Structure 1
Amino acid sequence: MKVLVIGSGGREHALSWKIAQSSLVEKVFVAPGNGGTAIEEKCENVDIKADDFNSLLKFAKNNNIDLTVVGPEDPLAKGIVDIFEENNLKIFGPKKAAAMIEASKAFAKNVMIKAGIPTAYYAEFSDFESAKFYVEEKGAPIVVKADGLAAGKGVTVAKTIDEAIKALEEIFIEKVFGESGNKVVIEEFLEGEEASYLAFTDGNVILPLVSSQDHKPIYDNDEGPNTGGMGAYSPAPVVTKDIFDFTTEKIAKPLINELANRGIKYKGIIYAGLMITENGPKVLEFNCRFGDPETQPVLYKMKSDIVPIILAAVDEQLKDASVEWYDDATVCVVLASGGYPKSYKKGYEITGINDAKNIDGIKVFHAGTKFENGKIITNGGRVLGVTGRASNLHEAIEKTYSAVKQIHFKDMHYRNDIGQKALRR
């Protein structure tokens, strides 16, 4: 088989690496890919942007691509799956109508309420004054979300009313998120610990992956602004077997059933961002694709060949599929550019990746990197995802951080506490 992976981040490197391990696959093309996919075995970068649908379609046809796997949310929300399917090409991911669960937070909340999925109470607004009045009336802490896609950065957990109003000003007046901020969703603040639930679905059957936990804020102890994610580990002990099963039965299944009632078949990955509260799990958000950086530790923990599972989801045969896992724990620490998630510089040489990779049980996934003149250089906010696997979480954390210390680039920044929440349990 020849496979095309769309995207350029750490998630896409992890997917390409995992897909390339399959005995069914002879070649993986990554569009546009990054410095890691450029040198990954069986992989080849293709210089086509993830939103250039015409060129992607042409490439898939001209190169007899047997399967396309979409990494990021943006092409899914813009309908790449619809276009490929209309051209009789096999593609993994939800169609445009189904991807609305991530592309519009208001749509997702409406689906949750109708389906009886536990979530925070909320209100939606299309203008600054009404939203400001609501925030002043409700008080803080409170959560302000840009309705549309904002690369994981459109959410403000405001500890004060002033902070919430500042977030509203950024969305409505300064237009920081452009069109994505034409509407906001304001939610009650939920107390608890966050976790990520990922599952394959073919629109009928749910096949869950292992639990994981992301770390969104930029600094240790969850301080500072939210990012796309500074690290993750799997499994997440906060997700007990009861919580895991509850999420499958009372969150994932009602989601696909409610969408089906609306004439929308959801095929692909369901990602539920959960808050584990005193009253059980509540959904913070749904995403229509693999999480980033959760994909890195989750796929590093996966024993099974991923390709038959993806094909089963596309062909609506997931009832016959299963997935095996290593008993080990996995940890991913993101190395970011100084200044991220705000402005940062690119183009710095990265050294020490090979020294890190030589540590047993370590895999370095590339995100914002470029392979240039035989060197790997920084090319984004989140640069690398150093991922380690060991028999327990404590060892996995130690191993991963010892690998992190081998790597250097100018203004490199990372959190020092990835996985500590789990150890405290």
Structure 2
Amino acid sequence: MKVLVYGSGGRDHCLADKYGDSPHVDKVYFAPGNPGILYTPKGKRGLIERVPIRDFNEIAKFCKENRVDLVDVGSENPLEEGLIDVLEANGIRAIGPRREYVKIESDRAFTDDMLFRIGVPKPQYRVFRDPDKAKEYVKNIGYQVVVKANGLAAGKGVIVCDDVDDAIDAIDRIMVKKIFGSSGERIVIEERKYGTEISFFAYLDGRHVMPLKMFAQDYKPAFDPDDTEEIERFGGNLNTGGTGCYCPHRLVSPWLINRIIKEIVNPTVNEIYNTFGWEYRGVLYFGLNLDPYNHLDVFEINVRHGDPEWEVISRKLSTDLFEISMAVCEGRLDNIRQVWNDRYYVDLIAMEGRSKAQRGWNKGYPGRYGKGHKIEGLNQIERGVVIYFAGVDEDHQKGLITFGGRVLHVVSGGKSLEEARERAYRNISKIRFLDHNNNNQNCMRYRKTIGFL
């Protein structure tokens, strides 16, 4: 069987790699992919092949000509742009929601209103189109808030505020300065919650729901909390698309899993199937907060796997991904049995740090970052440690180079969280991004507290 994974980031590389583990699959196409795949064992032997095609109609044509059996669309942007609709119109089996259904992620206000209506717990919120009214609101409510761009923002559209001045600045940045473009035409101002973040996933097949009986801990802030020097130099500890992850979450228990399914997953899926009448086939990602009083809240719902959560959950999952995906397409999720191995996994993300620019300095991800830095040390990575490539490119002289803010994932497993964590940190320390404008100094950075806090 042949599978095509559409995307180019670390999550998409991980999907392609997981499909490549299936005994049912003899070829995985990765489109448009990234050149890092050629530096992996499955890429070197041709099991995973990069197909540098972006156009949706060309993708459909390629699938027909090459008799592709399944397409998995890994990222939210092509889903919102309607790739699933194009594939279905061409009779190509695909996993992912149709364009209409993507608004459960791309329109926060729509989803918040739905959750409030059906009684699923979430923080108090208000939606604004006028920045002046939004500022007046945060001046008067008296508690800390989170300011969110209403639309898609590559996982970075959330600004956590300590006080009123922070909130006013966030409103200006999103609505006036348009740092997230049209996604900031409306904002959601939400009560700030304290507690532990939980990333929970469920597969839907249009009839059934299969919640994954496992969840992960994601880390959003760009820097470690005690990295005060870097936070001050950067101008704050901004949220990112994720800087690391581990699985299983320290709070995983049958009690909590059952509670999440009962209080959050089932009411949401019931609304999707029976009120909206959606034939939703794909993944739902529930971003949750568990506060010190054991109160659960939903702070986001997404229409795809999390990144970096999928990179660790996929390693923990022993069930064949191709079998799950075919069940999603054929309405047979009730026949799938989940199997999880007994190991722990840690994902450390190597990011572009501070680097020399032609004039001045690049602050690094999630701010302005440099590109074209040669990546060294990959040949020193220990056997069994997996590299998932994200923001990379290839240069005919330098070889593999950096091209994005989140460059690659180092994923390690172990019999304990401590063993997995130590192995991941030991291996990421072997990698260097050579800053060609600064005597080839290492401009890679990564967080030091993933799996500790």
TM-score, length basis structure 1:
0.95
Partner of 1:324: 339
Partner of 1:27: 27
Alignment match of 1:176 (pick from 175, 179, 186): 179
The whole-number CA distance in structure 2 between the counterparts of 1:163 and 1:311 is 47
The whole-number CA distance in structure 1 between the counterparts of 2:279 and 2:135 is 37
Contact persistence 2:206–2:331 (CA under 8 A): yes
Instruction: Give how far 1:37 is off.
Output: 2.2
Alignment match of 1:231 (pick from 232, 241, 244): 244
Partner of 2:73: 70
Q: Residues 348-393 of structure 1: CA distance to partner in whole angstroms, max 9, x if unpaired?
A: 111111211xx24311111111234382111111011100000010
Q: Residues 274-319 of structure 1: CA distance to partner in whole angstroms, max 9, x if unpaired?
A: 1011242211100100000111111111222110001101111100
Alignment match of 2:52 (pick from 47, 69, 78): 47
Contact persistence 2:209–2:269 (CA under 8 A): no
The whole-number CA distance in structure 1 between the counterparts of 2:280 and 2:170 is 32
1:10 aligned to 2:10?
yes
Q: Identity percentage over the alignment?
A: 40
Contact persistence 1:238–1:276 (CA under 8 A): no
Q: How does 1:292-371 map to 2 (within 5 A)?
A: 292-338=307-353, 339-356=364-381, 359-371=382-394
1:121 aligned to 2:136?
no
In structure 1, stretches of 5+ residues that fail to align are none
Partner of 1:290: 305
Instruction: Give how far 1:114 is off.
Output: 2.0
Alignment match of 2:421 (pick from 394, 397, 400): 397
Report the 3-state secondary structure (helix = DSSP H, G, I; strand = E; otherwise coil) of the residue aligned with 1:343. Answer: coil
Contact persistence 1:275–1:284 (CA under 8 A): yes
The whole-number CA distance in structure 1 between the counterparts of 2:206 and 2:74 is 19
Alignment match of 2:138 (pick from 135, 146, 150): 135
Q: Residues 119-169 of structure 1: CA distance to partner in whole angstroms, max 9, x if unpaired?
A: 111110111111111111113410100000000111011101111111111
TM-score, length basis structure 2:
0.89
CA RMSD, Structure 1 to Structure 2 (Å): 1.4
One-letter amino acid matched to 1:221: P
1:158 aligned to 2:136?
no
Partner of 2:410: 386
Number of aligned residue pairs? 417
Q: How does 1:180-329 map to 2 (within 5 A)?
A: 180-209=183-212, 210-221=214-225, 224-260=237-273, 261-277=275-291, 278-329=293-344
Report the 3-state secondary structure (helix = DSSP H, G, I; strand = E; otherwise coil) of the residue aligned with 1:151. Answer: coil
Report the 3-state secondary structure (helix = DSSP H, G, I; strand = E; otherwise coil) of the residue aligned with 1:55. Answer: helix
Report the 3-state secondary structure (helix = DSSP H, G, I; strand = E; otherwise coil) of the residue aligned with 2:297. Answer: strand
Partner of 2:357: none
The whole-number CA distance in structure 2 between the counterparts of 1:280 and 1:269 is 25
One-letter amino acid matched to 1:367: A
1:93 aligned to 2:96?
yes
In structure 2, stretches of 5+ residues that fail to align are 232-236, 354-363, 435-442
Instruction: Give how far 1:265 is off.
Output: 2.4
Instruction: Give how far 1:58 is off.
Output: 2.0
